[in-house]
């Protein structure tokens, strides 16, 4: 994992704390099996934890509608974020590995977007890629239109819009450190 923060970012106490945690990572690799980012990209950039956000739920609901369900052959691509372990499971795994100290926490990163509709553009590059890869370009365009309509029904139309993006962060230290 390679993460670098600017001096201006490190002036923020939350960023400074995250930087300290990232620098303490022992890169044991045990998180990679449940990390959707690692599974998709081969790099453990972070562990998203947003499966309960409407942007994820609505995508799954739209995937079950026709004509999309037929286009997926009856089985839509699963949301990889659903496979992320719960916080307490990470703590149990870390403990089982014999680490003496640990910190497992949920961090919410606020993203100020111009409007609720901008969430669609955001997730087109993240959560919706699994649908883009499985559909023809025309069908994916239709999927996005339907998704946008449903998402705005659920979230409402707000300008600006605060998109909360949850991440699981953890570190562990063995007793020899």
Ordered by start, the domain boundaries in the chain are 7-173
- pLDDT, mean of residues 10-27: 69
Residues 61 and 50: their CA atoms lie apart, in Å, by: 16
User: How much is the pLDDT for 147?
Assistant: 98
User: How much is the pLDDT for 1?
Assistant: 40
Higher pLDDT: 128 or 6? It is 128
User: How much is the pLDDT for 146?
Assistant: 98
Question: 10 Å Cβ neighbour count for 174?
Answer: 12
Model pLDDT for residues 123-146, shown as the tens digit of each residue: 998 889 999 999 999 999 999 999
Strand, helix or coil for residue 49: coil
Q: Please give the order of strands across the beta sheet that includes 47-48.
A: 47-48, 161-173, 101-113
**pLDDT grade for 103, boundaries at 50, 70 and 90:** confident
Tell whether the model's pLDDT for residue 94 goes beyond 70: yes
**pLDDT grade for 2, boundaries at 50, 70 and 90:** very low
Q: Do residues 113 and 119 make contact, with C-beta atoms less than 8 angstroms apart?
A: yes
Tell whether the model's pLDDT for residue 159 goes beyond 90: yes
- pLDDT, mean of residues 64-75: 98
Residue 60 neighbours by CB under 8 Å, 6+ apart:
76, 79
Q: Do residues 55 and 131 make contact, with C-beta atoms less than 8 angstroms apart?
A: no
User: How much is the pLDDT for 34?
Assistant: 54
Model pLDDT for residues 22-62, shown as the tens digit of each residue: 665 545 565 566 554 555 555 554 577 888 999 999 999 99
How long is the chain? 177
Most confident of the following: 3-7, 28-32, 84-88, 110-114: 110-114
- pLDDT, mean of residues 108-129: 92
Residues 3 and 1: their CA atoms lie apart, in Å, by: 6
Strand, helix or coil for residue 171: strand
User: How much is the pLDDT for 177?
Assistant: 53
> Which of 46-64 are b and which e, b meaning 16 or more Cβ less than 10 Å from the residue's Cβ?
bbbbbbebbbbbbbbbbbe
């Amino acid at each position: 994992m390679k993460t670098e923060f600017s001096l201006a970012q490190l002036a923020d106490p939350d960023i400074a704390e995250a930087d300290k945690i990232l620098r303490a990572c022992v890169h044991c690799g045990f998180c990679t099996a449940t990390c959707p980012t690692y599974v998709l990209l081969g790099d453990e950039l972070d562990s998203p934890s947003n499966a309960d956000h409407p942007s994820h739920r609505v995508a799954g609901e739209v995937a079950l509608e026709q004509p999309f369900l037929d286009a997926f052959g009856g089985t839509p691509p699963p949301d990889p974020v659903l496979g992320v372990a719960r916080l307490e499971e990470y703590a149990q795994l870390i403990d089982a590995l014999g680490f003496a100290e640990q910190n497992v926490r949920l961090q919410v990163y606020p993203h100020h977007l111009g409007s609720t509709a901008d969430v669609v553009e955001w997730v087109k590059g993240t959560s919706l890629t699994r649908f883009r890869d499985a559909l023809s370009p025309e069908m994916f365009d239709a999927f996005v239109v339907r998704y946008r309509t449903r998402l705005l029904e659920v979230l409402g139309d707000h300008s600006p819009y605060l998109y909360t993006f949850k991440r699981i962060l953890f570190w562990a230290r063995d007793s020899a450190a």
